[in-house]
Amino acid sequence: MSSYVRLNFIRALMHDPDILFLDEPTSGLDPVNARILKDIILDQKAKGKTIFITTHNMHDADELCDRISFIVDGELMITETPKKLKLKHGKPKVRVEYSENGRAAKVEEFPIANLGKDSRFLEIVKNCEVISIHSQEASLDEVFIKITGKNLV
């Protein structure tokens, strides 16, 4: 963690506040220090602290937040739990990595809805060498774009 970020974060925690406001807390941090900072945030959350985080990093928001609000051009678009946002507005999918006739591996994604009736999916499973199949829930990035119509910066 850079000295400046570390100092500001320590200063924010110094007086054991009940409410913390953190602006892009993991921005510019390497994965090790970002993990340390996120663990501290989760520890504060477990102690009953209220934490407001502004971030463009939807992975951090998903991991750290009980509720997420999307604000666009100063307007509150929606507030909900990460899980409910993904279930209501996202499209879970299955990602299949396969090889056809010994050729280089290919990857295709299929919506989970009606997967058993998807002719292309069934064709791959029956006729190709399946290397891996993974189900994926919708990401908050996808949900943000769907709800707001804007890409994240």
Strands 68-72 and 19-23 turn out to be unpaired
Angle at 152 between CA 149 and CA 153, to 5 degrees: 135
pLDDT, one tens digit per residue, over 36-73 is 999 999 999 999 999 999 999 999 999 999 999 998 88
Whole-angstrom Cα distance, residue 64 to residue 53?
9
Check residue 151 and give its pLDDT: 67
pTM for the model stands at 0.75
Burial code (b: 16+ CB inside 10 Å, e: under 16) for 48-67 equals: eeebebebebbebbbebbee
Please say whether the beta carbons of 55 and 61 come within 8 A: yes
Distance (Å, whole) CA 133 – CA 10? 43
Query: In the structure, what pLDDT confidence band is assigned to residue 153 with cuts at 50, 70 and 90?
Result: low
Taking only the tens place, the pLDDT of each residue in 125-139 is 999 999 999 998 889
Q: What count of other Cβ atoms lies within 10 Å of the Cβ of residue 124?
A: 20
Other Cβ atoms within 10 Å of 68 Cβ, number:
21
Q: Which CATH architecture has domain 3-85?
A: 3-Layer(aba) Sandwich (3.40)
